[in-house]
Amino acid sequence: MGPRAAQTLDLIRRADWFDAARAKGYLAILAVLSAIVAVGYLYLSSPLLDPQGKALGTDFASFWTASQLALAGGSPWDVEAHRAAQTAIFGPGAGYAAFFYPPPYLLLCLPLALLPYAASLAVWLGATGAAFAAMARRWLGRESGWLPIAAFPAVLVNAGHGQNAFLTAALFGAGALIASKRPWLSGVLFGCLVIKPHLAVLVPLFMIATGNWRGFIAAGATAVGLCALSLVVLGPEAWQGFFETSALARQTLEQNLVGYAKMQSAYAGARLLGAPGAVAWALQGLALVAAGASVWMTRKADARARGAVLAAATLLATPFLLDYDLLLLAVPLAWLFREATKDPGRDGWRDWEKAALVAGFVLPVVSRSLAMAAGLPVAPLVVLGLLACLVRRARTAETVEANLPDAATLSMARP
């Protein structure tokens, strides 16, 4: 390695140039740009269609149409009926967003079509966005203000898709935050992730590793209860339709129907680089093992550290992940920032942490573009690097805490 390359690497490793003043300036710029994009997007849109002629809020069209069908006695898992309903509302050029969610999610969607489409989208994003903002503020701390949340690119990405990541991140982040102090409520929040179960893939391990049996029971009971409620309200036909479309959902993943460049998982990254399906699944399996090992290795860390690791590990573990799902990065990024800056009298940053923070922060807005334009699936690598920084910090804090003398020892040492 030449001296210039070593100097560049050291610049990234230490990132001394990235101080608090620059961070605030960059956040302000991002927040202003996000506001300009949002206002311009809405100005150029109609109540139904965005500037590209697609459904306004793209994926929300699937949820609203599912509500309309269900309220009329139809099934959103009837793909042809769901497609025909979307086409009738938005026109043939607006594209199609399928509904692969389990019946408990349809319970949440049922009221959506009671309002006109644009009003329903506004209420949906407003309510779930407020829940996300409240959760993120708790992780960041009041002293950080609202600027980091407003500037986080994943907020705009999720809003543009009309997706549910505000809600799932709020449930996940709040559940992780209160897991040790309010285990029953934490379990209920995690159990509600049955609406998007692949985001809860590591929750059972997390509960077992930390000995949170009350949370484990509450999560399981909540998930089962919501499934039972959907069976009563929607009937067995809903579950039959869901299971029938599950095979189609897997085909959507494996046959590149969504587009590997749009997805953010290790599996999709491997397929984008040309790996066969078996190799890609093996790589995803290794990612799952690494993610699970991270959760287990930090089981004795403090509650916030465990939650931050769980959130990042989840994004590495699941094979079905899109850029709006990266909103969950708010949890580990907030924890890392708060830990590194909690003592204003010293520099609390360790090697590579600033780089991991910046990369994770901008990832939701650059990952899809890099994959589509250059064929570079950077998301799994960025998440893996961030996870490594989180585990190192969590385990170091755990070791330091274990080596501190207890109160009895300190009292005996007094003269």
* Number of residues in the chain: 415
343: how many CB neighbours lie within 10 A of its CB? 9
Cα–chain-centroid distance for residue 411?
Answer: 46
Residue showing tokens 């605030």: 24
Q: What are phi and psi of 55, to 5 degrees?
A: -60, 135
**Residue ranges covered by each domain of the chain:** 19-398
Please state, in angstroms and rounded to a whole number, the distance separating the CA atoms of residues 170 and 161.
Answer: 17
Q: What is the pLDDT of residue 12?
A: 81
Residue showing tokens 């893939």: 201
Q: Got the DSSP string for 232-266? A: HHH-HHHHHHHHHHHHHHHHHHHTTSS-GGGB-SH
Please state, in angstroms and rounded to a whole number, the distance separating the CA atoms of residues 354 and 362.
Answer: 12
Q: What are phi and psi of 17, to 5 degrees?
A: -70, -20
Alpha helices in 260-352 (DSSP H): 266-272, 277-297, 303-317, 330-340
Q: What is the pLDDT of residue 256?
A: 80
Residue 229, CA distances (Å) to 104, 217, 236, 238, 239 in order: 8, 18, 11, 12, 12
Q: Are 335 and 348 in contact (CB under 8 A)?
A: no
Q: What is the pLDDT of residue 7?
A: 73
Helix (H, G, I), strand (E, B) or coil at 49: strand
Please state, in angstroms and rounded to a whole number, the distance separating the CA atoms of residues 331 and 309.
Answer: 9
Q: What is the pLDDT of residue 345?
A: 64
Structure tokens at 132: 């996300």
- Say if pTM beats, i.e. exceeds, 0.85: yes
Structure tokens at 171: 């449930």
Which residues, in sequence order, are CB contacts of 107 under 8 Å at separation 6+? 226, 229, 230, 233, 234
Q: Are 136 and 146 in contact (CB under 8 A)?
A: no
Q: What is the pLDDT of residue 399?
A: 52
290 residue type, one letter: A
286: how many CB neighbours lie within 10 A of its CB? 12
Q: Roughly how many angstroms between the first and final C-alpha of the chain, as a whole number?
A: 56
Helix (H, G, I), strand (E, B) or coil at 152: coil
Which residues, in sequence order, are CB contacts of 235 under 8 Å at separation 6+? none
Residues facing residue 263 across a β-bridge: 322
* pLDDT digits (tens), the chain, 415 positions: 667 777 778 778 877 778 878 888 989 999 999 999 999 999 999 999 999 999 999 999 999 999 999 999 999 999 999 999 999 999 988 989 999 999 999 999 999 999 999 999 999 999 999 999 999 999 998 888 899 999 999 999 999 999 999 999 999 999 999 999 999 999 999 999 999 999 999 999 999 999 999 999 999 999 999 999 999 999 999 999 999 888 888 888 888 888 899 999 999 999 999 999 999 999 999 999 999 999 999 999 999 999 999 999 999 999 999 999 999 999 999 999 999 888 776 668 888 899 999 999 999 999 999 999 999 999 999 999 999 999 999 988 655 444 545 544 444 444 4
Please state, in angstroms and rounded to a whole number, the distance separating the CA atoms of residues 395 and 339.
Answer: 13
Q: What is the CA radius of gyration of the chain?
A: 22
Q: Are 143 and 178 in contact (CB under 8 A)?
A: no
Q: Are 300 and 398 in contact (CB under 8 A)?
A: yes
DSSP code at position 115:
S
Q: Are 230 and 104 in contact (CB under 8 A)?
A: yes
